[in-house]
Structure formats: structure tokens, C-alpha cells
Structure 1
Amino acid sequence: MLICLPPSEGKTPAPDDGAPVDLTALTAAELTAHRETVLDALAAVSARDDATTALKVGASLADEVARNTTLRTAPTAPATDVYTGVLYAAAGLGDLDGDAAARAAADVRIFSGLWGVVAPADRIPAYRLSMGVTLPGVGGLATAWRPHLDAALAQRAAGDVVVDCRSAAYVSAWKPATTGDLAADWVAVRVVRETDGVRTAVSHNAKHTRGVLTGHLLRRAGSPPSSADELLDAARELDGQVIGTEVGTGLSYRMVEAVLDDPATRRGPRTLELVIS
């Protein structure tokens, strides 16, 4: 099992006493050289007068962008403490211990426009950079990272199930092979709400539900799934459970069922649809 997660949009700064980032200590050391290149390009852009425009963020985030100029000396914390969005709160990655923590270290990879990919315990500073940005001297980040991520991840994914919880920009940076010697069972996780028999896509609840699935896959007893069918069986263990609370209304929602599409209709990943109500 390889669980692919997006970063959270917002980042929580590390405590002031955190050590600075050690690029050579991050997971996938073969990415170090390209991380250096992206880090330097980001610092240069972030020092410009038009930095917020170049990085495609609003003026209200100017302080976060300015922080990009000192990332080499900024304090770090585990990625699970820096990424604190809805998905991460639901997954509870920072609360894992024992076998679940070991499984997360081996099986969870968080994609990043700056670092390429990191593991949950990797120590990083808070930063502001999305995968959809183009940096001078680097180019579009998804395109620039693609060969490096393929070299780092293709062998790890081969013969395993890839549980893809990423958004489109991060999917474009790395796609597992689905044919050939390095083929993986690639499964994208989609969340829909069922109301009066009609199923529609959701946003906030989708992030939360993907987080719940991630936490479940790491904490459940037994071996992690290694195929799409085994992933479906594991997801169905959540059927009927209350898994979240609606923002605003305070009403709870539950998992209705998990459904895996027919591989004969596949173009790219198969789809694991998680139905909530």
C-alpha cells in the first residue's frame, strides 16, 4: 500500500526552537538536488515586489510569502504538525504510535511543490508554494518534478496498490504506471453524498472522508491492502459508521458504502467511491 496525500493549503509554523531543515535527511534523498533548486528559486521569487502575484496567492498572505525567503534557517517540525488541514485532522497522523506509526512511515507520502514528496515524520518548515506555480529557472512545478518523482516512487509503487487522495495539480506531478514491469494498482479516492437516491460530489466532506480512510488504513489490524480489491474490503469496514460532523449544522454523517469501479472501463486510475449520507 502506498497512500498519496496532498499537502494542506495552510501550514502551521514550527516552534521557534526547531532545528533548521536538513534536506539530506528528508525521505527520498535522490530528490535533494532538485529540492535545492526549487528552494533557491522560491526564495528569489518571494523577495520580489510581485511575489504574491507570482505565487498565485492573495495579498493577505504576504507575510507567509515573505517567510519563504528564510526557509533554510527557519525552524522545522514533523510534516504531520506543519500540515494541519481538514484531511490531516481527520487522519490523525500525528497521533499514531507503534505499528500504525511504522506503517505511516513506510506507506504514506505527502506531495509538495517545494519538497517533491515527504514522509509524515520528515521535519520541514512552514512554507507557501502550490504545485500549480511556475518558478523562474524551474518552470511549472508539476512538470519539473515529474521525472524526479517517477525515479523516486515508481519502484516503490510497482506491484502494490496506490491509494490516491491527491488533488489534480499533485496528480499531474506523478502518475503510477498501470502497465509494464512497474505497474501498480492505482486507485483514486472519490467521495460523494447520497441524498434521496441521488449522488453528488462534495468538497469539505471529501477531504475529511479521505482523511478518515487514511487513518483507518493505518490503524486497522492485519496486513495493509496490496491490491484494489483488498483496498475495497478495507474501506468497507467503515460502512455504516458515523465518520464526521457537518460544518455549520453540527449534523453527523456516516459512510453508506464503498464501491470500486469496473477495471474494464479504466482510463488511468480505478475509482474507489466512498458514499456518505
Structure 2
Amino acid sequence: MLVLLPPSETKSIGGRGVPLELDALSFPDLNPVRAKLVDAVVELAADPDTARSVLGLSQRQADEVARNAALRTSPTTPALSRYTGVLYDALDYAGLTRAGKSKAVARLAVASALFGVVRGGDPIPAYRLSGGSVLPAVGPLGALWRPVLEPALAGVDDFVVDLRSGPYSGLARIPGAVVVKVVTEDDSGRRQAVSHFNKAHKGFLARALVESRAEPDSVAKLIRVAGGVGMRLERTGADAVDLVVSQP
């Protein structure tokens, strides 16, 4: 099983790993595009005003541009320790047991505008780049990633649970992946997509899948594992499920 998470805009700072080595990342077929994007992001950071405009940052976020400028030289840390925010708080990688962390590294991967996709243990630096960004040197990221990222993910010999958000789903289609949508349900049975708490519920589901002794390889088994921890998953299509949550 491979659970594909969305990234986060926020990242932890620092790390104890050596600077970025693309050959240390999973999915090596992505390295030519990764190298091109690293070059483009570092080049963009040399002009802070333009970089802030392109990346949608404010003056107070100048540190984000500085981190992009240092992409090749800053320390790295495993991806599951690098990404922060609501989903990753709910996942709580740091709070997992040693066995849980080992399963997380094996079962979780993160979509990335800069790296395409990385597995949970891949060492990456702090950076700022969103899936919808258009870099002056390369243009829209989707057009750059799709030709290489789609074959890489299609070649994954695992049952794939897709928790990505819209901008990152647009970087690559994954045939056969089970897409999870977080919804609420009112008394009449009408369902509505969850926005604000979407990430937290996806984080809780990812943690449940990491902690499970089972290795789901079908939608039915995925639903069973979620149900075992009190989460309600319902199939809505051949490769689609709703995660039905209570109104906050």
C-alpha cells in the first residue's frame, strides 16, 4: 500500500542531514526534472522581489525566499519531519513508535511541486514552491511534471490511496488509485465537501493506515481498516470513497 499525501506550505527549518542529493531520493526517473526545478527556484531567489511575486509571498516572508536560495547547501531531514501543518499534526509522525515510523516511511509518500513525489524517509531541505506556481524559467509545473510523474506513479506496484489536494492531483493522474474525499452529512443524507478540517481528517486516516497491522490491497479492506478505528469510509465509485465526518 502507498498512501499519497499532499504537501504543506509550511516546513520545519534546519535538519541534520547532508545537503540535497537528488540520487538519495526515491523515484530516480524524476531527477532530471527535479534538477531543472531546483536550478529554476535558486535562480528565481536571486531576485527576491520577483520571487515573492511569483510565489505569492509577502515582505514578511522574505525568509522563504532565502531558504530557496540555499536549496543546494541547506541541511535536509526526512520528508515526514519536514512538512508541518494541520495534516502532519494529525499524523504526528514524531509520536509514532519505532515500528510505526518504519511503517510510515514504507507506506507514506508526499506529493511535491519541487520533487514530484518523495517517500516519507527521503531527505529534503526546506523550500517554498506550490503546485500552482508558474516559474519564469520553466512555466506551469503541471506541463513539466505530467510526462514524467504519471509514468513513475503508474509504475508503483502497490494499492494507492490518494489523499492529494487539487493542485497536486493536477500534476499527475494515477490510474487505479483510490481517491478519498472528506465530506460531512446532514440529517437528510446530503453531503458536502469539508474544507477547513479536510487536512486534519486526512492526517488521522493516514495515521490509522500506518498503525494498522493489515496491508489493505482493495477498497473493501481500506474501509475495514478505517472502520476499525471508528472512521466511516463509504465507496462512491470504482476508485473513489467518501470519508464521512461529523459536523464540527
Partner of 2:225: 234
Distance apart, 1:28 and its partner CA: 1.2
Report if the CA contact (8 A) 2:5-2:111 is conserved: yes
Partner of 1:259: 234
User: How many pairs are equivalent?
Assistant: 245
Distance in structure 1 (CA, Å) of the matches to 2:17 and 2:213: 34
Q: How does 1:1-277 map to 2 (within 5 A)?
A: 1-15=1-15, 18-48=17-47, 49-157=49-157, 160-177=158-175, 184=176, 186-197=177-188, 199-222=191-214, 224-239=215-230, 255=231, 257-263=232-238, 269-277=239-247
Output one character per residue of 1:21-58: Cα deviation in whole Å (capped at 9) or x when no partner: 11110111222221111000011112223211112233
Distance in structure 1 (CA, Å) of the matches to 2:243 and 2:129: 29
Distance in structure 2 (CA, Å) of the matches to 1:191 and 1:39: 33
Report if the CA contact (8 A) 1:21-1:124 is conserved: yes
Distance apart, 1:161 and its partner CA: 2.9
- The DSSP-based 3-state class of the residue aligned with 2:233 is strand
Output one character per residue of 1:222-249: Cα deviation in whole Å (capped at 9) or x when no partner: 3x1111121111111232xxxxxxxxxx
- The DSSP-based 3-state class of the residue aligned with 1:204 is coil
Distance in structure 2 (CA, Å) of the matches to 1:271 and 1:199: 13
Distance in structure 1 (CA, Å) of the matches to 2:163 and 2:40: 28
Distance apart, 1:196 and its partner CA: 4.4
TM-score of the superposition, structure 1-length normalised?
0.81
Distance in structure 1 (CA, Å) of the matches to 2:183 and 2:32: 40
Distance in structure 1 (CA, Å) of the matches to 2:237 and 2:37: 40
The 4+ residue runs of structure 1 with deviation greater than 4 A are 195-198
| Letter paired with 2:198 | A
- The DSSP-based 3-state class of the residue aligned with 2:197 is helix
Report if the CA contact (8 A) 2:185-2:244 is conserved: no
Distance apart, 1:99 and its partner CA: 4.3
| Letter paired with 2:3 | I
With over 3 angstroms needed to count, the CA separation of the structure-2 counterparts of 1:28 and 1:190, relative to structure 1, is same
Distance apart, 1:205 and its partner CA: 1.8
TM-score of the superposition, structure 2-length normalised?
0.90
| Letter paired with 2:218 | S
